[in-house]
């Protein structure tokens, strides 16, 4: 391929040779490693590399691009090749000299659109192509031609040579920079009408396994909208000589499957109307309302919602793959828009560009999150000119149109939220539904009445009176029904609220009997102590017990007082119920309220709560739990040098987990259950009455949660409590 | 005679322990605050006459329950008297559990909120009762015999069975045939002697 | 001449020795009496066939049969059954003396019903304390030994056996636990003794001219 015909070093080498020996002029020069380092930051992995190169093909107005992987699973580097071939506009010599081989990370472009007649919104980042190639392999041959040219231009670039020369040269104390190396190029005859660019990358750096090939396919599929045809077309083909299923496969996005609900809205240019979704809870149906086309222009939107069983099915089908339920994406003219076009090696780190998940924490059970929907929003350059990709490629330009579009998207998702809520409510309001049915029937009756009335030509006054009275009755009936429905709704809401409280709270009776046992035991002990006095005082042989027993009576009574206080507070609890965010509460409590305390005790405190979790309970009581845990830890830490307390938490599939740890004396083996006993304490000497952890456990139990002692985080000493709070099952 | 207290809310200095020790001697009163070790103590000392004061509930149900401990003692021997105590009312014990207690011969139930003196009285009654039991006497004697003697044939029947002392012991504990016959025979002996006027009551 | 047959199971694993000593305890008395012609049947020969064949030559004359072996409600057994419902009639015209358990319950009655003259046996489990063999077989054999002296009816001999049991029991009383336990077994045995049939028979009623 490489026929070195000419070596016009002056024109190809980015820096003139003259500068080496000219001591009048000083110019900046570039060493190859620095260059490659730059690249590493821009192109972090090989899939991104190919992604960028394919985007470049799109920008070059190609209608077809083929990505060919040849022997990429071979152990021998020299066997591995990647070829990217497109039928785009191709590059001229000047393009190569002045663009490709100019190192610039400036993404300022002359135009945001590709050449006519395609006028495609440019997808690729300027100046990134060369780094993409470098990431992929050490040698490159660019084979390119524009229409109207006679010859294909072949240019060879060998990074490995540059490196070798550079290393060799430093040893000989002579600088040799790749910016001074000449690059071979050659012309190959071709057809005038041909055009396109082929990048032939060899000495591919990494081995590509079958999975890597499949992943590449899936990522490329995300470039195209599943629904909006790209016109003029942009077909991507993947060809692997090693993976039979992909030996020549057109990249097409998979049909979306396993969803539980689907809605789509469109627009009608003729009437200037845009469809928008609403969910009518009375009927339990989605309706499409027509509104005038909005500021952002007409849009088509397809929403696939996955309820829990659907999610499970989806994950089971795509286990281990790259398919994800990853929210709403915007496609322009059939191709993905740049903020959504970044290949993300870590799908969980995706940015919430549209702000869908920001609104979640308040209503975690009713609002729809990104992880529950796949949304395809199709816009076009022509119809939606105000939706502009920001130059940093991470977002859209924040103008009114875009803000309205975001709101619009969220409205559609809210319709699904209502549907979600409706379905969970479905089981309950039978009474309500029957009332509604009655209302419907009343309406029908009324309609029939009117019909009959109309049939009568000249009704006699008595007849008319009868009709009027009937109509009045129907109206009254309907009113009564509406009122009943709203009463029922209110009742339902109250019942739900009570149910919520009840479910999150062990019944008072259960609670009373739990405490009663402990209280009776305490009373029995005190009684025995008193009996001893009654029968034996002042016998000298028992003298050693009198003081001991008197003290024990005193202590037991004090503990009993605390227990009864706790019972009272528990009994009045439901008047002070509220929703609160556990994460926020804990952060506030532990960093603000206890800041002084921790400082005084010289305790190093760490908090790490990953997710939001909403509880409905007595906030104060919940705070008390942590008050007790902190106080316990402080006691345990009294002889520790570098005191540490840590509180961490996260959401798991069924519950919210909190770990509370300290590096104090720890809990003796065998005492892990015992410490929760009402009067059991190992710190009696410093005023521990044992009641603290008992109350902690009671409080957690009342939320249907559990607390247990687990392996200490700060091994080998210290203690860690694990608190599990289950979700309220709706 | 040993008094074994298995209770999670009694300590060594509790009044009831103090008074039991006064009465029966320091060495003869044993306290276990966890149900399993308490059970193991009883099961490994079966040759010893024992009265057990047993709590119904251990650590809010996190450890083996008293009723289960009782069942397991009874599975091995009828010769330990068990008194069950609890701060719950007896009516809180479910039907199934009550059946187990009654059918397996629980000596007594007393609320822990009663005077400890009352509880100790019950223990005393149980102790007396043990002294009146022939099977307990037999057990105690057998256990004292050397192991080789206990493993030899001791009694044969002319109906084709023979028994070692160990087998007789097991039979006494489990209340099966040979044990019962032996007990009956001893009673018969006593009655016989009295009626043949060979023994006066204070001999 | 008086005919006697003594069957004793010297092969039994538990009580073989006991049965041997028992047998010797009786045959001493038998030998001392010149009138008595005795046939002893050893364990191996304790089979129905052999027993019957030993009885046949007696030609239906009266005889005394003593069984020293294990047994149950209906049978006397050695390594096989040698007395049972099958050969009841062989024992018509005999005095049947059994040391085995339970035979009194059914076998005794059946024998009497088939023409046996007198039956002495036990109607419950007979216990033998292993270290007290001599006392036990002495008690067990006392009745027949008394009868063979010729001075007593079978009833009188039986009653003397009871007295003998009591004496032995009293002798054991001051002893240790083992002695007491032996005494209890003796009581057990004493209380399940049974006498069936013609109680007034004497030794000379068995003389054959």
Which whole-number Å values give the CA distances from A52 to A55, A120, A123, A575, in the listed order? 5, 16, 9, 60
**B146 and B68 within one domain:** no
Out of A368-372, B78-82, C109-113, which region has the weakest mean confidence (pLDDT)? Answer: A368-372
Residues of B with CB below 8 A from A553's CB? Answer: none
The topology (CATH level 3) of A508-726 is: Heat Shock Protein 90 (3.30.565)
Q: What span, in angstroms and rounded, lies between the C-alpha atoms of A139 and A81?
A: 9
Which residue out of A527, A528, A707 would a mutagenesis test of the B interface target, given it has the greatest number of B Cβ atoms within 10 Å? A528
**B153 and B127 within one domain:** no
CB-based contact B18 A545, cutoff 8 Å: yes
Identify the top-confidence range among A156-170, A502-516, A642-656: A642-656
**B143 and B120 within one domain:** no
Number of residues in chain B: 203
Out of A6-10, B40-44, B112-116, C177-181, which region has the weakest mean confidence (pLDDT)? Answer: A6-10
CB-based contact B112 A521, cutoff 8 Å: yes
Domain boundaries, chain A: 46-250, 261-426, 430-502, 508-726
Note whether residue B36 is domain-resident. yes
**B179 and B82 within one domain:** no
**B149 and B49 within one domain:** no
CB-based contact B18 A542, cutoff 8 Å: yes
CB-based contact B113 A527, cutoff 8 Å: yes
Asked if residue C91 lies in contact with residue C83, where contact means CB atoms within 8 angstroms, the answer is: yes
Neighbours of A175 (CB within 10 A): 12
Neighbors of chain B by Cβ distance (3+ pairs < 8 Å): A, C
Among A553, A580, A683, smallest CA distance to A628 is for A683
Indicate the number of domains in chain B: 2
Q: What span, in angstroms and rounded, lies between the C-alpha atoms of A692 and A671?
A: 15
Is the CB of A673 inside 8 Å of chain B's CB atoms?
Answer: yes
Q: What is the CATH number of domain A46-250?
A: 3.30.565.10
Nearest CA in chain B to A519: B87
Note whether residue B203 is domain-resident. no
**Domains in chain C: ranges and CATH:** 2-206 (3.40.50.1460)
Q: What span, in angstroms and rounded, lies between the C-alpha atoms of A17 and A9?
A: 8
Q: What span, in angstroms and rounded, lies between the C-alpha atoms of A85 and A65?
A: 6
Name residues whose C-beta falls within 8 Å of residue C35's C-beta, 6 or more positions apart in sequence: C1, C2, C207
Among C197, C208, C202, smallest CA distance to C63 is for C208
Name residues whose C-beta falls within 8 Å of residue B80's C-beta, 6 or more positions apart in sequence: B42, B46, B50, B51, B52, B73
Out of A358-362, A600-604, C18-22, which region has the weakest mean confidence (pLDDT)? Answer: A358-362
The domain spanning residue B64 has which CATH number?
A: 3.40.50.2300
**B125 and B40 within one domain:** yes
- Averaged pLDDT score across all residues of chain A: 79
Tokens (6 digits) for A137: 């392999």
Asked if residue B15 lies in contact with residue A532, where contact means CB atoms within 8 angstroms, the answer is: yes
Note whether residue B8 is domain-resident. yes
Which residue out of B158, B163, B199, B200 would a mutagenesis test of the C interface target, given it has the greatest number of C Cβ atoms within 10 Å? B158
Number of DSSP helices (H) and strands (E) in chain A, helices first: 18, 23
Residue in B155, B186, B192 nearest the CB of C127: B155
Neighbours of A194 (CB within 10 A): 14
**B170 and B113 within one domain:** no
The SS3 assignment for A158 reads strand
Interface confidence, given as ipTM, is 0.82
Number of residues in chain A: 730
Whole-model pTM over 0.90: no
Which residue out of B16, B87, B110, B115 would a mutagenesis test of the A interface target, given it has the greatest number of A Cβ atoms within 10 Å? B87
CB-based contact A545 B9, cutoff 8 Å: no
Residue in A520, A545, A549 nearest the CB of B87: A520
CB-based contact C101 B192, cutoff 8 Å: no
**B139 and B128 within one domain:** no
Task: Identify the band that residue A722 occupies on the pLDDT scale cut at 50, 70 and 90.
Answer: very high
Name residues whose C-beta falls within 8 Å of residue A236's C-beta, 6 or more positions apart in sequence: A54, A64, A65, A66, A67, A220, A223, A224, A250, A251
Q: Which residues in chain B (118-157) have CB-CB distances under 8 A to chain C? A: 141, 152-157
**B153 and B128 within one domain:** no
Name residues whose C-beta falls within 8 Å of residue A43's C-beta, 6 or more positions apart in sequence: A49, A52, A128, A131, A132, A134, A135
Is the CB of B190 inside 8 Å of chain C's CB atoms?
Answer: no
- How large a percentage of chain A has pLDDT more than 90? 15
Residue A272 is given by DSSP the state T
The SS3 assignment for C100 reads coil
Note whether residue B74 is domain-resident. yes
Average pLDDT on A628-649 reads 85
Residues of A with CB below 8 A from B117's CB? Answer: 531, 535
**B115 and B33 within one domain:** yes
Number of DSSP helices (H) and strands (E) in chain C, helices first: 6, 10
Residues A297-338 have pLDDT tens digits of 999 999 998 887 788 777 777 665 556 777 888 998 888 887
Q: In the predicted model, is pLDDT for residue A7 greater than 50?
A: no
Is pLDDT larger for residue A674 or for residue A218? Answer: A218
Average pLDDT on A229-241 reads 87
CA distance B76 to chain C (A): 24
Is the CB of B196 inside 8 Å of chain C's CB atoms?
Answer: yes
Out of A145-149, A714-718, A724-728, which region has the weakest mean confidence (pLDDT)? Answer: A724-728
Residue in C18, C128, C177 nearest the CB of B155: C128
Residues of B with CB below 8 A from A524's CB? Answer: 9, 87, 112-113
Is the CB of B192 inside 8 Å of chain C's CB atoms?
Answer: yes
CB-based contact A531 B117, cutoff 8 Å: yes
Domain boundary among B87, B117, B132: B132
Please give the pLDDT value at position A20.
47
Please give the pLDDT value at position C5.
93
Q: Tens of pLDDT along chain B (203 residues)? A: 899 999 988 999 999 999 999 999 999 999 999 999 999 999 998 878 899 999 998 877 778 999 999 999 988 888 899 999 998 888 888 888 999 999 988 999 999 999 999 999 999 999 988 877 888 888 888 888 888 888 988 888 877 788 999 898 888 888 888 888 888 888 888 888 778 765 555 55
CA distance A563 to chain B (A): 16
Residue in B141, B158, B160 nearest the CB of C177: B141
Chains A and C share 3 or more Cβ pairs within 8 Å: no
Place of tokens 């840590």: A646
Domain boundary among B107, B132, B157: B132
Please give the pLDDT value at position A1.
38
Residues of B with CB below 8 A from C181's CB? Answer: 155, 182, 186
Note whether residue B160 is domain-resident. yes
Q: Which domain holds residue B115?
A: 2-132
Q: In the predicted model, is pLDDT for residue A105 greater than 60?
A: no
Domains A46-250 and A508-726 share a fold: yes
Is pLDDT larger for residue C5 or for residue A484? Answer: C5
Tokens (6 digits) for A651: 């959401």
Residues of A with CB below 8 A from B115's CB? Answer: 527-528, 531
**B106 and B27 within one domain:** yes
Average pLDDT on A201-211 reads 86
CB-based contact C102 B159, cutoff 8 Å: yes
Domain boundary among B132, B163, B185: B132
CB-based contact A531 B62, cutoff 8 Å: no
Radius of gyration of chain A (CA): 37
Q: In the predicted model, is pLDDT for residue A46 greater than 60?
A: yes
Q: What span, in angstroms and rounded, lies between the C-alpha atoms of C26 and C160?
A: 16
**B105 and B6 within one domain:** yes
CB-based contact B117 A527, cutoff 8 Å: no
């Amino acid at each position: 391929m490489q026929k070195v015909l000419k070596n016009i070093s002056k024109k190809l080498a980015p820096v003139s040779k003259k500068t080496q020996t000219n001591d009048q002029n000083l110019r900046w020069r570039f060493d190859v490693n620095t260059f490659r380092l730059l690249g590493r930051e821009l192109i972090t992995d090989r899939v991104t590399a190919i992604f960028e190169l394919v985007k470049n093909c799109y920008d070059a107005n190609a209608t077809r691009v083929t990505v060919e992987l040849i022997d990429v699973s071979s152990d021998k580097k020299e066997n591995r090749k990647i070829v990217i071939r497109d039928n785009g506009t191709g590059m001229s010599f000047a393009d190569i000299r002045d663009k490709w081989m100019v190192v610039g990370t400036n993404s300022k472009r002359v135009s945001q659109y590709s050449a006519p007649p395609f006028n495609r919104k440019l997808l690729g980042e300027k100046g990134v192509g060369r780094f993409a190639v470098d990431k992929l392999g050490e040698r490159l041959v660019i084979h390119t031609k524009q229409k109207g040219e006679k010859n294909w231009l072949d240019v060879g670039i060998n990074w490995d040579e540059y490196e070798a020369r550079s290393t060799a040269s430093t040893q000989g104390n002579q600088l040799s920079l790749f910016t001074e190396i000449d690059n071979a190029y050659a012309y190959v005859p071709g057809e005038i009408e041909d055009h396109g660019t082929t990048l032939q990358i060899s000495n591919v750096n990494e081995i590509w396994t079958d999975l890597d090939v499949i992943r590449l396919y899936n990522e490329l599929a995300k470039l195209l909208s599943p629904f909006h045809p790209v016109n003029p077309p942009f077909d991507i083909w993947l060809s692997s000589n090693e993976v039979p299923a992909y030996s020549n496969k057109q990249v097409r996005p998979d049909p979306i499957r396993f969803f539980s609900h689907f809605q789509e809205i469109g627009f009608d240019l003729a009437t200037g109307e845009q469809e928008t979704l609403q969910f009518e809870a009375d009927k339990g149906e989605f309706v499409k309302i027509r509104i005038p086309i909005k500021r952002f222009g007409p849009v088509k939107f397809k929403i696939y919602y996955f309820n829990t069983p659907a999610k499970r099915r989806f994950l089971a089908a795509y286990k281990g793959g790259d398919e994800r339920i990853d929210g709403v994406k915007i496609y322009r003219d059939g191709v993905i828009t740049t903020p959504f076009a970044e290949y993300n090696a870590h799908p969980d780190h995706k940015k919430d560009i549209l702000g869908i998940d920001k609104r979640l924490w308040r209503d975690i059970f009713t609002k729809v999150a990104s992880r529950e929907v796949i949304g395809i929003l199709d816009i076009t350059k022509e119809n939606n000119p105000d939706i502009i990709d920001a130059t940093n490629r991470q977002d859209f330009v924040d103008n009114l149109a875009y803000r309205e579009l975001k709101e619009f998207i969220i409205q559609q998702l809210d319709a699904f939220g209502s549907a979600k809520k409706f379905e969970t409510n479905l089981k309950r309001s039978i009474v309500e539904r029957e009332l509604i049915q009655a209302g419907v029937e009343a309406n029908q009756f009324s309609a029939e009445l009117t019909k009959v009335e109309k049939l009568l030509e000249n009704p006699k006054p008595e007849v008319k009176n009868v009709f009027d009275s009937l109509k009045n009755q129907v109206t009254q009936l309907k009113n009564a029904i509406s009122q009943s429905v709203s009463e029922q709704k209110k009742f339902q809401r109250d019942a739900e609220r009570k149910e919520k409280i009840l479910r999150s709270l062990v019944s008072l009776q259960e609670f009373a009997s739990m405490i009663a046992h402990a209280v009776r035991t305490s009373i029995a002990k005190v009684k025995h102590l008193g009996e001893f006095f009654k029968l034996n005082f002042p016998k000298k042989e028992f003298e050693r017990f009198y003081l001991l027993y008197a003290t024990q009576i005193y202590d037991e009574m004090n503990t009993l007082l605390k227990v009864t206080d706790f019972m009272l507070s528990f009994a009045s609890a439901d008047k002070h119920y509220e929703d609160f965010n556990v994460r926020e509460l804990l952060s506030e409590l532990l960093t603000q309220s206890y800041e002084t305390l921790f400082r005084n005790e010289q305790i190093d405190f760490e908090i790490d709560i990953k997710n939001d979790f909403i509880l409905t309970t007595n906030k104060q009581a919940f705070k008390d739990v942590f008050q007790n845990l902190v106080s316990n830890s402080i006691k345990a830490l009294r002889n520790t040098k570098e005191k540490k307390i840590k509180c961490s938490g996260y959401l798991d599939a069924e519950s919210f987990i909190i770990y509370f740890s300290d590096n104090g004396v720890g809990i003796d083996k065998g005492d892990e259950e015992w410490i929760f006993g009402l009067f059991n304490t190992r710190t009696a000497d410093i005023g521990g009455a044992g009641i603290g952890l008992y109350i902690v456990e009671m409080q957690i139990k009342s939320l249907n949660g559990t607390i247990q002692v687990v392996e200490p985080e700060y091994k080998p000493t210290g203690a860690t409590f694990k608190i599990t709070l289950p979700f309220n099952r709706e | 005679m040993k008094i074994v207290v298995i209770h999670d809310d009694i300590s060594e200095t509790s009044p009831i322990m103090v008074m039991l020790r006064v009465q029966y001697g320091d060495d003869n009163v044993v306290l276990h605050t966890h149900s399993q070790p308490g059970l193991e103590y009883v099961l490994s000392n079966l040759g010893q006459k024992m009265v057990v004061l047993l709590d119904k509930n251990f650590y809010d149900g996190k450890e083996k329950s008293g009723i289960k401990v009782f069942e397991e003692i009874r599975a091995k021997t009828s010769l330990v008297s068990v008194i069950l105590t609890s701060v719950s009312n007896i009516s809180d014990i479910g039907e199934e559990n009550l059946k187990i207690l009654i059918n397996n011969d629980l000596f007594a139930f007393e609320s822990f909120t009663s005077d400890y003196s009352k509880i100790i009285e019950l223990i005393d009654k149980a102790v007396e009762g043990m002294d009146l039991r022939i099977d307990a006497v037999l057990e105690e004697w057998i256990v004292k015999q050397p192991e080789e003697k206990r493993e030899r044939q001791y009694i044969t029947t002319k109906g084709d069975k023979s028994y070692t002392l160990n087998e007789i012991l097991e039979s006494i504990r489990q209340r099966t045939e040979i044990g019962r016959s032996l007990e009956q025979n001893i009673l018969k002996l006593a009655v016989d002697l009295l009626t043949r006027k060979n023994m006066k009551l204070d001999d | 001449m008086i005919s006697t047959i003594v069957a004793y199971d010297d092969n039994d694993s538990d009580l073989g020795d006991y049965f041997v000593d028992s047998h010797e305890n009786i045959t001493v008395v038998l030998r001392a009496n010149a009138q008595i012609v005795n046939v002893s049947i050893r364990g191996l020969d304790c089979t129905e066939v052999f027993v019957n064949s030993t009885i046949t030559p007696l030609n239906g004359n009266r005889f005394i049969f003593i069984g020293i072996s294990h047994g149950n409600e209906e049978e006397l057994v050695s390594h096989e059954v040698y007395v049972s419902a099958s050969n009841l009639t062989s024992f018509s015209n005999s005095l049947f003396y059994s040391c085995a358990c339970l035979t009194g319950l059914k076998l005794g009655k059946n024998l009497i019903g088939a023409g046996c003259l007198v039956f002495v046996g036990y109607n419950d489990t007979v216990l033998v304390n292993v270290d007290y063999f001599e006392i036990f077989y002495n008690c067990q054999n006392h009745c027949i030994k008394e009868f063979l002296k010729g001075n007593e009816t079978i009833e009188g001999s039986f009653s003397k056996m009871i007295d003998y049991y009591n004496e032995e029991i009293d002798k054991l009383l001051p002893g240790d636990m083992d002695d007491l336990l032996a005494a209890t077994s003796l009581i057990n045995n004493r209380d399940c003794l049974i006498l069936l049939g013609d109680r007034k028979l004497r030794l000379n009623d068995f003389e054959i001219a």
